[in-house]
Amino acid sequence: MKSRLIHEIQGERTFVLILDINDEVMASLVQFAKTNKLGAARFTAIGAFRNATLGFFDWESKKYLKISVNQQVEVLSLIGDVALTDGEPAVHAHVVIGHSDGSTRGGHLLEAHVRPTLEVVLIQSPAHLHRQFDRESGLALIKDIMTRETLAAGTARMGNRGPSYV
Amino acid sequence: MKSRLIHEIQGERTFVLILDINDEVMASLVQFAKTNKLGAARFTAIGAFRNATLGFFDWESKKYLKISVNQQVEVLSLIGDVALTDGEPAVHAHVVIGHSDGSTRGGHLLEAHVRPTLEVVLIQSPAHLHRQFDRESGLALIKDIMTRETLAAGTARMGNRGPSYV
Amino acid sequence: MKSRLIHEIQGERTFVLILDINDEVMASLVQFAKTNKLGAARFTAIGAFRNATLGFFDWESKKYLKISVNQQVEVLSLIGDVALTDGEPAVHAHVVIGHSDGSTRGGHLLEAHVRPTLEVVLIQSPAHLHRQFDRESGLALIKDIMTRETLAAGTARMGNRGPSYV
């Protein structure tokens, strides 16, 4: 994977990430997030995979069912975000893939190998999104958001939360 | 629904909206748009719904056909924008959902209830997009764009339109 | 196609493009990219087509298989980017479309005609992304990224590449 910073303004940074043939997507994105200490980011991507494992969250069992994709597919849409779980950046991404006849499948992205390329645009925001364990779903959901300004101002005064807008 | 402003620069504001279990998506987004007086915005989201009603615009009848989704689904892609219709913010969103076997459906989002979460990144631009009734389609389409600078400079001199780029 | 610049900050420019009935999408986007000398951009869009030709890149033959869509469809997701190929802006876009029963198809966008509208948000970055011929795939892939600052600083000293972040 290659990456470049293509714009930066007041702590918001826009990166282009180019994943190469055989790169594993989730591992590459997590490594990038950790190396660059991302506390909050969003991304979109298009490209192609040579295989993938997708997930569907089954509300009854509270587990991800796995969907195997063992063929070359177009990546029609990859949308995701980065937030902190237990202080470490975690990547959450959903994907729609396309087959040779134009039919599509999709799910929560668990794993995928690129072929020949994946073009990602990732925007880092100067904030920290935090995932916390949610008892009802059994998942780590984004529950609270602290901005760097809030952290600098002190959590005692601000009540541990940034400004709310609705 | 919770929301936080995570970046602001010269009138462009980036929000994270986290919708909670049972929140209705369109009502939540419209309420946010009205409360924050959005004149122009774009958003992307991923998450999951417990049900949804999608629409397909039938060109012959000029009506939306309804597609009912009465089960837990992944939200693989939710892309939309905010523009003004008769001076009030209107939300336009299209969605792709994923079933347990990885198959997908999609359409114009009419209504959906979240379970357990929907993670939205919304960027407000310092401009006003206006929808106007289009006789041929019978829909309110974005027909003209006035920026705040244009409004400040006076519509008489600028001819009621911002600068054009092609 | 109409377009407006709705935000500009330090060389990053956000445009709204509204394509009208019968506009061809790829030609319109390429014309916009050339007129505005885009060296790097990303975009998302929703709307509807009256027809489309999608592509699937067949890894064995190294050719795009064509998928014809000869009916009115919703554009559920259109995600793409702009980079330079041989010094000229090239548009790369993947699309997911929706049929009247909610079923979906998708692929690499080769051609499509709008009906009644396509709402595009395009963000131009102050950088140049370059596509280069890739022998293994036979495609022009983004291989290197030069920022304008890098170009101004001189390629000799910087080794022809911008700063790398992983």
**DSSP-assigned letters across all residues of C44-61:** EEEEEEEEEEEEEEETTT
Query: Could you report the per-residue pLDDT of B51-97, keeping only the tens digit for each?
Result: 999 999 999 999 999 999 999 999 999 999 999 999 999 999 999 99
Query: Does the CA dihedral A69-A70-A75-A78 come out positive or negative?
Result: positive
Residues 6+ apart with CB under 8 A from A94: A78, A79, A80, A106, A107, A108, A109, B46, B74, B75, B76, B77, B98
Query: Could you report the per-residue pLDDT of C25-64, keeping only the tens digit for each?
Result: 999 999 999 999 999 999 999 999 999 999 999 999 999 9
Below-70 pLDDT ranges, chain C: 144-166
Distance CA A83, CA A90 (A): 6
Which of B27-31, B113-117, B162-166 is the least confident region? B162-166
What are residue A9's DSSP bridge partners? Answer: A12
User: Which pLDDT value is given to residue A146?
Assistant: 52
- The count of other CB atoms within 10 Å of the CB of residue A97 is 29
Chains contacting B (3 or more CB pairs within 8 Å) = A, C
Residue C20 is classified by DSSP as: P
Distance CA B66, CA B55 (A): 5
| Nearest neighbour of A77 by CB, restricted to C96, C141, C165 | C96
How far is C143 from chain B, CA to nearest CA, in Å?
27
> CA nearest B150 in C: which residue?
C6
Contacts of A57 in chain B (CB under 8 A): 48, 72, 74
Q: Is A85 exposed, middle or buried (0-12, 13-18, 19+ CB in 10 A)?
A: middle
The conformational region for residue B37 under phi > 0 = left, psi -120 to 50 = alpha, else beta, is left
Q: Are strands A127-133 and A73-85 parallel, antiparallel or unpaired?
A: parallel
* Chain-chain contact of A67 with B102 (C-beta, under 8 angstroms): yes
> CA nearest A34 in C: which residue?
C166
Rounded to 5 degrees, what are φ and ψ at A163? Answer: -65, 145
ipTM: 0.89
Query: Does the CA dihedral A92-C99-B79-B65 come out positive or negative?
Result: negative
Contacts of B9 in chain C (CB under 8 A): 9
pLDDT in tens, chain A (166 residues): 999 999 999 999 999 999 999 999 999 999 999 999 999 999 999 999 999 999 999 999 999 999 999 999 999 999 999 999 999 999 999 999 999 999 999 999 999 999 999 999 999 999 999 999 999 999 999 986 655 444 444 333 333 333 333 3
CB-facing half-sphere around the CA of A86: CA atoms within 13 A = 2
| Nearest neighbour of C36 by CB, restricted to B59, B65, B165 | B165
| Nearest neighbour of B116 by CB, restricted to A136, A165, A166 | A136
Contacts of C77 in chain B (CB under 8 A): 77, 79, 94, 96, 106
In the numeric block, which tokens belong to residue B139? 């829909």
User: Which pLDDT value is given to residue C143?
Assistant: 82
* Chain-chain contact of B50 with A58 (C-beta, under 8 angstroms): no
Tell me which residue of A127, A98, A105 sits closest to A40, measured CA to CA. Answer: A127
* Chain-chain contact of B166 with C121 (C-beta, under 8 angstroms): no
- The count of other CB atoms within 10 Å of the CB of residue B61 is 9
User: Which pLDDT value is given to residue A143?
Assistant: 82
Query: Could you report the per-residue pLDDT of B134-144, keeping only the tens digit for each?
Result: 999 999 999 86
